[in-house]
A = this chain, B = another copy of it.
Amino acid sequence: MKRVSVFAPATVANVACGFDVLGFSLNEPGDEVILSLSDDSGIEITKITGDDGRLPLDVQKNTGGVALLHMCEHLKFSGGLKMEVHKKMPMGSGLGSSAATAVGAVVALNELLNHPIERKDLLPFVLEAERAACGAAHADNAAACLLGGFILVRSNEPLDVIQIPFPDDLFAAVIHPHIEIRTEDTRRILRKQVSLTRAVQQWGNLGGFVAGLHQSDYDLISRSLEDVIIEPVRGLLIPGFESVKNAALDAGALGSSISGSGPSIFALCRGEEAAQKVGKSMQN
């Protein structure tokens, strides 16, 4: 029986100045998705571990299941599939947990079927699953998880995802406080209107950040890692956010902000050693 195991990493979306357009993948943690062909018909989720029993085994309700259903329909594949999900990352933490399961599932199926679909063209199936899970499909986590490294979602409609090169020595430290925040709630507290002045500051920073990544200019990356629109609002929902961020900056981080809609907090650093030091300071 053919069987593949796929690791799908956690991801950081928004990345300070890039609300809804920037994301990057982490080396760890992540989900392990094991998919095998089966003689039984249909898709079955046989096991989920690491979720404290909170994720549904119902294929229609699980992001991995939904992504597989859409991909099978697209491929007109009607064979049987059995999926196991080993969640080795926190859920509801702003690290793209739901996207990771879906990415793991579609990459595994593509592998099982000998790559009928190009890697980047798997994204729409993941987005269908995200839409089912969160009510809205934002491609930032999903694309970063699927493609790795830094991605820019230039446009959601039509979907246009761009990979951004980044300097070798760029490392991230991430901590996640033991509280959960629902993405819907963190969206609801955002104002629908922003001042043009702030918007200009934000896109100046986004342009600077994208240029800094291309030019391996750590100083520019650092100066650009500033969110004048979303963080001032969402930071209020995360107890201790300011002190964790300041600890990161004091320990030498290039910048620090909320991962996705939180409560996880990331910091970008120059060098692995620096990232480890920053991570420890953030924990304290």
Knowing A154-B208, A154-B224, A207-B22 touch, does A191 contact B196 (C-beta < 8 A)?
Answer: yes
Q: Is A4 in contact with chain B by the CB < 8 A criterion?
A: no
Which chain B residues border A204 with CB–CB below 8 Å?
20-21, 152-155
Residue pair B214, A152 in contact (C-beta under 8 Å) = no
Which chain B residues border A153 with CB–CB below 8 Å?
204
CB distance from A202 to the nearest CB of B (A): 6
Which chain B residues border A160 with CB–CB below 8 Å?
208, 223
Knowing A155-B201, A196-B190, A223-B154 touch, does A207 contact B207 (C-beta < 8 A)?
Answer: yes
- Given B154, B215, B229, which contacts A207 in the complex, CB threshold below 8 Å? B154
Quickly give the copy total for this chain.
Answer: 2
Q: Is A203 in contact with chain B by the CB < 8 A criterion?
A: yes
Q: Is A18 in contact with chain B by the CB < 8 A criterion?
A: yes
How many of chain A's residues have a CB under 8 angstroms from any CB in B?
Answer: 39
Knowing A152-B208, A208-B152, A214-B214 touch, does A18 contact B196 (C-beta < 8 A)?
Answer: no
Residue pair B190, A154 in contact (C-beta under 8 Å) = no
Which chain B residues border A236 with CB–CB below 8 Å?
none
CB distance from A84 to the nearest CB of B (A): 36
Nearest B residue to A160 via CB reads B223
